[in-house]
Amino acid sequence: MTLQLTPKEKSLLEDQKKHEQICIEKYQSYANQAQDPALKQLFNSYAGQEQQHLNTVNQMLNGQIPNMTSQQNQQSGQSNSTTTSSSSQGAIASQSDSTLCTDMLMTEKFVSGAYDTAIFEFADPNARQALNHIQKEEQGHGQGIFQYMQSKGMYNTQS
């Protein structure tokens, strides 16, 4: 079954493609900059998932309905949880990692919101399902970053 995209749907997917490319670049770059090994691992994991998102968006742009079952099975072995190892890093490293996390959390909020809009604009239920799947993973990335930040004292929900 092929996916017939309207001009608006194609435009939305082109936007999401750019967002995914930027997410991949940021996660890869930030993994190299992060001081905490657990944060490096988290960012590398998310970079891989963002690549899967980009592959899905590209499939859709090529008129193909992505097989979400195989993607879900691949990702069931991957974890969105963060490792909260205690770190003896100095304040400078913590501040640097905090800045990276803050930027990625803002990015994930934006990307998730953009997927929310796109989901409502697609007529094909399979396309909507694929976009919804990606959005849920983007929200999981945000949750993982939030939990990491909270565990390291970088994000205070009490203020």
Q: Where are the domains of the chain?
A: 20-63+91-159
The model's pLDDT over 3-61, given as tens digits with 9 standing for 90+, comes to 999 999 999 999 999 999 999 999 999 999 999 999 999 999 999 999 999 999 999 99
Judge whether 97 and 34 are in contact, CB under 8 Å: yes
Q: Tell me which fold the domain 20-63+91-159 belongs to.
A: Ferritin (1.20.1260)
The model's pLDDT over 5-15, given as tens digits with 9 standing for 90+, comes to 999 999 999 99
Rounded Cα–Cα distance for residues 141 and 104 (Å): 9
Rounded Cα–Cα distance for residues 28 and 70 (Å): 25
Rounded Cα–Cα distance for residues 4 and 114 (Å): 21
What the block records as the tokens of 23 is: 């997410």
